[in-house]
Chains A and B, each alone.
Chain A
Amino acid sequence: MKRLVLNPVLDKEFRSRMRTWKSPLLISLYLGILALITLGYYWTQQQRIYYSGFGPDIGPQIYVTLTIFQLMLVSFVTPAFTAGVISGEREKQTLDLLVCTRLSATSIILNKLLASIAYILLLIISSLPFFAVVYFFGGVLLGEIAQVFLVYLVTALTFGAVGVFCSTIFRKTQVSVVVTYVIVFFFLAGTAAITAFLVNVRPNFGGVPVIAYLNPLVALYSTFPGSFAQGLPLNFAPGPSGAVGANVTSLQPWQYNFIGDGIIIVVLLFIAVLLLDPVARFSRLKRWFKRKKKVQVDGGEISKKIDTEYTENYEGH
């Protein structure tokens, strides 16, 4: 566990990433875009106030605009950080050197993902002052902001897992990045399109198709302050159609989203771990089978011979 947390991969990734001029540039660019959106929206509202007076919903309005843009930015940035973590090592011819250390495939994959997510978290946290401005106007609760940040984190983890998975499968980073963006686009737009199609095909079915809950925008929307959340085009309240006990538990859409994303993250990372180090996968199982077979075939004579030779030659050396 200690090796998993205080991992050299994480340390190296932080060191490498924060050392170049790209990091401060990206943070500046990211915050610059958010500042433009916030100030732009505020400016247009100021113009409106000039004619119609101060609107009490200006705070929530900026908040909704800001959170949607931030989710889009997170969705756009995450593949760029994660879709090359393994294929990049392969292209740089450093993957073999990394795999033949004592680090397990799980540790490598998890820490590569964590390093990328940590940087995305840095971007998200650095945007907090903008939310403070929104809080100043009122109309948004602190708990709602916390929920939104949780949605960002889970979305970043999901798209990050997709990126790491693609970079393990595809040898070239370019291919991995393109495929990851296609999958991210599917999560954002594809799920919405399929939902719209299913709802139109089966208008009397009731509830919402499960696939709709995979859309991070749906999760985000469900965390918005009361009046804004009611603007959803579908009735999400009864839970996903076909979900066992959905009506009873009455989970929020963002909670369904977290469950779905959690399953996706675990499955993708598990496959990535298996693919990264084919020699080590199921090694304990292989060892057990081989030992059993050897005992049956030669009574372990070869192993005994080698063990004796090793003790005599190497340990005695």
Chain B
Amino acid sequence: MLLIENLCKQYGKLTAVDNLSLEVDTGAIFGLVGPNGAGKTTTMKILAALLTPSSGQAWIAGEDVSTNPARIRQLVGYMPDFFGVYDDLKVDEYLDFYAASYGIPVRERRMIIGDLLELVDLNHKRQAYVDSLSRGMKQRLCLARSLVHDPALLILDEPASGLDPRARVEMRELLKELKAMGKTIIISSHILPELAELCTHIAIMEAGRLVISGTNEEIVAHTRTGSTLQIRVMDQADGAALILQEELGLTEIPFLNNSLDIPFSGSDEDLNRILTRMVESGIPVISFSEGKNNLEDIFMQVTKGVVQ
């Protein structure tokens, strides 16, 4: 669906996107992660045919984004991170305006608007002025707007930013529904646990460059220290530390209040052996578990020290 090759965007001396190459398959939910200023929004704007790249190329469904903007805009539904609405329009008029702007005939428009309002749960606000909607409702309306022309690819820049927890959950459910509808989605967000749950693929960007990309599993595997070992004992923490020193080859085991949380890269057999030895040695183990590194940990790990 999307292919990016050596994409660069420069603003004077500032390089916003630096030699970015990516590939997104049809039907994928692709999470674009990165600190502020990483180049996510610039990349998304280039893909939405709103910015011209300084060099490199990107194709959406075979169409070059910089030379065929009219076709790209038909293929892409874009939702920016910050957007405004026309205060003087009602909700259905707002969607009708954009549907008309995409050249959809009047009869089809009515049906599409009804369907979209139902999808984003705003049917009851159909006759309300856009200005009177809450932030969450406006976000959902903007998402509906980006869907009026039934695009093959959705580019959503921070769709959950500034939303309260309930609105975030609603937005997440909505995106899951779009995923089920088979839409290819590129989404950027700062709420990493939600992205990890939603996305089939993740790319982490920093200072305009791509740091890492792949499926969630590939990224966890790539970062090697993919999990942690969490142990809690009633007492005899020294005995447990001794076993761990022998098994893991570590010189110091930092038990704190009879609890321990250390990086672990061993196998399930290693875990089983450690637990068996502790139980056989009479150490009163309360809990023994492996904690998988989440996207947030990986993000902190791979971007550490580079972010200004």
Contact = CB atoms under 8 A, between A and B. Distances in A.
B101 A8 contact: yes
B26 A102 contact: no
Nearest to B81: A93
Contact of B50 (A19, A20, A96): A96
A19 to B, nearest CB: 5
Given A96-B50, A307-B62, A102 B27 contact: no
B238 interface: no
Contacts of B45: 96
B50 A100 contact: yes
A94 B80 CA distance: 10
A19 B51 CA distance: 34
B180 interface: no
B64 A310 contact: no
Contact of A100 (B52, B78, B100): B78
A271 interface: no
A99 B3 contact: no
B9 interface: no
A100 B86 contact: no
B209 interface: no
B26 A11 contact: no
Interface stretch (A35-43, A152-160, A233-241, A276-284): A276-284
B25 A283 contact: no
Nearest to A303: B62
A16 B93 CA distance: 11
B89 interface: yes
A12 interface: yes
A15 B89 CA distance: 8
A3 B61 contact: no
Given A8-B101, A100-B49, A286-B66, A317 B27 contact: yes
Contacts of B1: 310, 313-314
A100 B64 CA distance: 15
Interface in B74-109: 74, 76, 78, 80, 82-86, 88-89, 93, 97-98, 100-103
A92 interface: yes
A110 B182 CA distance: 38
A141 interface: no
Contacts of A286: 66-67
A283 B61 contact: no
Interface in A116-170: none
B172 to A, nearest CB: 23
A259 interface: no
A296 to B, nearest CB: 15
B221 to A, nearest CB: 26
A interface SS class: helix
Interface string A5-41: 0001101100110011000000000000000000000
- For chain A, the bracket of interface size reads 35 or more
A98 B94 CA distance: 12
Interface in A266-317: 277-280, 283, 286-287, 290, 302-303, 306-307, 309-310, 313-314, 317
Contacts of A12: 86, 89, 93, 97
Contact of B62 (A20, A104, A287, A309): A309
A314 B100 contact: no
B89 A279 contact: no
A16 B80 contact: no
A103 interface: yes
Interface string B43-54: 001001111100
Contacts of A15: 88-89, 93
B301 interface: no
A8 B98 CA distance: 8
Contacts of B103: 3, 102
Contacts of A307: 62
A94 B86 contact: yes
Max count, chain A CB within 10 A of own CB: residue among B82, B84, B89, B182: B84
Given A94-B85, A290-B64, A11 B97 contact: yes
A99 B50 contact: yes
Given A96-B83, A309-B62, A283 B70 contact: yes
Interface in B230-266: none
A280 B69 contact: yes
A100 B82 CA distance: 15
A286 B149 CA distance: 26
B61 A279 contact: no
30 contacts: A8-B97, A8-B100, A12-B86, A15-B93, A16-B86, A20-B88, A92-B85, A93-B80, A93-B83, A94-B85, A94-B86, A96-B45, A97-B78, A99-B50, A100-B48, A100-B76, A101-B102, A102-B102, A279-B49, A279-B51, A279-B52, A283-B68, A287-B68, A290-B64, A290-B67, A302-B5, A313-B1, A313-B25, A314-B26, A317-B26
The 7 closest A-B pairs by CB, nearest first: A8-B100, A101-B101, A92-B84, A93-B84, A16-B88, A287-B67, A313-B26
Interface of A: 3, 8-9, 11-12, 15-16, 19-20, 92-94, 96-104, 277-280, 283, 286-287, 290, 302-303, 306-307, 309-310, 313-314, 317
Given A94-B84, A290-B64, A310-B62, 15 more contacts: A8-B100, A12-B86, A19-B88, A92-B85, A93-B83, A96-B50, A96-B83, A97-B98, A100-B73, A101-B98, A101-B102, A102-B102, A103-B101, A277-B69, A310-B1
